[in-house]
Structure 1
């Protein structure tokens, strides 16, 4: 006998679909608007007639952005920050969370309380800057990857996920002569692929969007990430305007063409990565929050 859906359930489904469709439109429209502005004719942009579909066709903004050497330098820096920072974040967070799952670890309670305190209290911007200065990290590669590589909230999620792994696996490995490092890298981490994939994407996106630390701690433009390059365009309302004044005067390009083209180029890698990792979100983020 088949299940007959009631009227209330049907109404709920209809409203749910309508809400999700509206949510998709709200999220997709800004992206389509950015792409449209990057490709539209300057006259239509000036008149404010561009919405979700390009009017005319103009690639001058992309040509200007792609001709800037700083774009490639910033892209290289961001790729390095994101890759090294993500690996460091996953490694250090795993190494911090694993001992907290061991029942006889003597510092378990102290470290847990210490991490919890850091979630509510911080030193502030100036003390943090002075600390980075004393550690000789200012204007270095590591200033972009070490601070914030271990977060208390992430550690607790990792700990909860590890606690869902049967303790018998660790006990069996100990009886076979394995050490805790071997157990972590040969048993726990291979069983935590969903968790690692989820937080790897979170970390990549965070490093990809990072600009504030670069603004405060970096002085050399050769170390600037991609978002600092975008910031210079937006703050200057199209930094290429002075260099390409003739194009602007002749109405061959609009400053928004340049800015939006840069945003599209910066977004492309994240948009390509996201669909492949998105499937791990529910399992990786929610399963670890069930216990602990």
Structure 2
């Protein structure tokens, strides 16, 4: 059997194959972050036939001050739960599992949605999507953000999703804490890698308290900043090991301060160097996303043990039949 077609069952989540649709912002929500018919139609189209085993919903903001951009999906209020149930039901009806990604933008909040962004330190975001200097968070504010993650995770479960993903990649807030480029704090939330992931471990603990032991918790890790003064591979591996010990069920590898692409990389599976080293270190499954456009490359990455699951984003965004064609090609 093709590696991509192998089922997976760890007792918490049962997946028919190793193909994942990673979170990609659509900007199709209403202005207040509510689910629109456009979003329901979009995920209905992408999940038709259930060829993708796991669909991770685009990042949703956990609080108004954590909103990243216009028309971003929200998970910040209990009144959203009923509409979100419609989304989980559509994806389930089509035969796929669905996880929601929850996020705080931190210093990457666009100017049009937040003129007073926050971050671990007063440092401009390296992705340069906004020019506003963030204000350094106080410890009390960090506690509030952790609580917002907790409440949001509870909403995800209540809305009928199969798991929750904590976003610490692409230079958003949790990624800003883990990266030495953006975290220059002198308290317990800064310094070495254990200090820089203290907030992550507290978020994981809070999320686990909200959803219970049997609900899958995933973390998306920006495992490289693609910068000589950025996160080291050793620190990324140590972080992943700490997340596993804290109770995460799966780690989803992507980029950090470099965003979701690497400079000067044309190979499929941009972040396979990072995912390979992390997969060797942890016992939990590893997802790899980054520039995968054909099933042969996905198959090779799994065969070479670069990851346990392959995320295919832009190719599925462009062609809703990509997954169907890939699965049928490998079956034959």
> What range is the shorter-chain TM-score in?
under 0.3
Give the structure with the higher percent strand. Answer: 2
Give the structure with the higher percent helix. Answer: 1
Which structure is higher in RCO with an 8 Å CA cutoff and minimum separation 6?
Answer: 1
Give the alignment's TM-score, normalised by structure 1.
Answer: 0.26
From the CA coordinates, give the structure whose radius of gyration is larger: 1
